[in-house]
Chains A and B, each alone.
Chain A
Amino acid sequence: EVQLVESGGGLVQPGGSLRVSCAASGFTFSNYGMHWVRQAPGKGLVWVSRIHRDGSSTDYADSVKGRFTISRDNAKNTLYLQMNSLRAEDTAVYYCARLTDSMILRKHVFDIWGQGTMVTVSS
């Protein structure tokens, strides 16, 4: 079964740090770009970050640039998001998502999502 399972969420104080992880199974992890998408309570979906299949390039939303770092370990089939200098507005469910990319199909979409891990930034 193709699956993504996030872990590592929790309560952290403003200015603190947290690392969330996403364990992949059921597919060849190293063949896919991977992303983090977050959703604040009662709000919509917001893209956070992406990493190339081999980890050679990364991108970030402006709201997290310089504070968050995405990485991956293809030997462990695991995606990470290191979050530093956390703010109250970072409070959200963090989803990891697989991007499937096919130029022939014009398909460049998030086709597999994890269940999410909740990060709460509060004193």
Chain B
Amino acid sequence: DIQMTQSPSSLSASVGDRVTFTCRASQDIGNSLAWYQQKPGKPPNLLLYAASRLESGVPSRFSGSGSGTDYTLTISSLQPEDFATYYCQQYYNTPPYTFGQGTKLQIK
């Protein structure tokens, strides 16, 4: 199974900041990576797929990049509604569909 590791596990930032999350796969996943945002008590919401493609309706301040085993999610200018937990998930070799453990973004 492919293991996904996210860092950091939590991050504090302020409105307007630029923040970056990292996701590392245990093997090359060929850009087969999705990012989800989850707010407390809510289901996850798809943000990006194929590492860098923005899902319809997702604000353009979200962007993704990476290749091979290492990927990043960047929020260019944090908005109040962006404080949430972010998960990466690989779909290169499934099943299982494996998620990272999440990065919690908190208000500084």
- Complex-state Cα separation, A43 to B43, whole angstroms: 13
Which of A45, A105, A107 touches B99 (beta carbons < 8 Å)? A45
Number of residue pairs A-B, CB distance < 8 angstroms: 65
- Complex-state Cα separation, A118 to B36, whole angstroms: 21
Interface contact B43-A107, CB-CB below 8 Å = no
Q: With a CB–CB cut-off of 8 A, which chain B residues contact A113?
A: 43-45
Q: 0/1 per residue, B36-63, Cβ < 8 Å to A? A: 1010001111100110010100000000
Q: Does B95 contact A (CB under 8 A)?
A: yes
- Complex-state Cα separation, A16 to B91, whole angstroms: 33
Q: Does A14 contact B (CB under 8 A)?
A: no
Q: Does A88 contact B (CB under 8 A)?
A: no
Number of A positions contacting B (CB below 8 A) = 24
Residues 77-108 of B at the A interface (beta carbon under 8 Å): 87, 89, 91, 94-102
Q: With a CB–CB cut-off of 8 A, which chain B residues contact A110?
A: 34, 36, 44, 46, 89, 97
Interface contact A106-B50, CB-CB below 8 Å = yes
Which of B36, B45, B98 touches A47 (beta carbons < 8 Å)? B98
- Complex-state Cα separation, A99 to B97, whole angstroms: 11
Q: Does A1 contact B (CB under 8 A)?
A: no
Residues 25-76 of A at the B interface (beta carbon under 8 Å): 35, 37, 44-47, 50, 59-62
Most chain B CB within 10 A, of A62, A106, A115, is at A106
Q: With a CB–CB cut-off of 8 A, which chain A residues contact B94?
A: 108
Interface contact A47-B96, CB-CB below 8 Å = yes
Q: Does A95 contact B (CB under 8 A)?
A: yes
Nearest-neighbor residue (CB-CB) of B45 within chain A:
A113
Q: With a CB–CB cut-off of 8 A, which chain B residues contact A44?
A: 87, 99-102
The contact sample of 17 A-B pairs, CB cut-off 8 A, is A37-B97, A44-B99, A44-B102, A45-B102, A47-B95, A47-B99, A50-B95, A60-B95, A62-B96, A95-B43, A108-B91, A110-B34, A110-B36, A113-B43, A113-B44, A115-B42, A116-B43
Give A residues with C-beta under 8 Å from B.
35, 37, 44-47, 50, 59-62, 95, 97, 105-111, 113-116
